[in-house]
Amino acid sequence: MLIAANWKMFKTQAETLAFCNHFRAPDGVDVVIAPPYASLQVALSSGLTIYAQNVHWEDEGPFTGEISPPMLTELGVAGAIVGHSERRQYFGETDETAARRAAHALDAGLSVIACVGELEAEREQGETESVLRRQLARFAAHERLVIAYEPVWAIGTGKTATPELAQEAHAFVKSLIDVPVLYGGSVKPENAAELLSQPDVDGALVGGASLDVDSFTEICREAIRS
């Protein structure tokens, strides 16, 4: 069971250090922390498994604001998130660019959590499976690839897919690509047990609830119980 914390644009270096000093990963669960770029080095000093929140498809070049696989591996970063819905919504990420990022990162020896998921309007129109099929078409199974199913309507909204909806989507994703699948979308200590107990849910990509060390620790404990 993998529980990944996506801190987005939260936590300074001092706040990152305080969290890492306090957090103790429970035995029996794999934990990943993905802090902002500026806090990667501080987080790495904790000995935890650290991912970046994005990675480019080239090793170097005129790509202002981007970061490459060699830069991350030199730091000691173990992997990266790609294709998060906020990257798609605010920064023009597409299915193609997300897949290119993932492929290059995997080739460079990094692990990857690749995010997919439908908008609320797409779910209401019965398009969830066609959206997931389109998003996953460019990814190939890899031993270091994990997919995160994050229904966009449940990210940062407080809404959460029911365990049954999550299971249905995860089973469909696994019918298309044979890799572990995490659930992402307002995962909290209160709903983690039900979500993580579903047979095709292999962990969680946690946003807001991962910013509080006690909350994140409790989600990790629920993963062990599930």
Active site (catalytic) residues? 84, 150
Q: How many CB atoms lie within 10 A of CB 89?
A: 12
* C-beta separation of 3 from 204 below 8 A: yes
Cα(80)–Cα(56) distance, rounded to whole angstroms?
Answer: 10
C-alpha to C-alpha distances, 68 to 59, 79, 99, 107, nearest whole angstrom = 5, 11, 15, 12
Q: Which residues of 202-219 are buried (b: 16+ CB within 10 A; e: fewer)?
A: bbbbbbbbbbebebbbbb
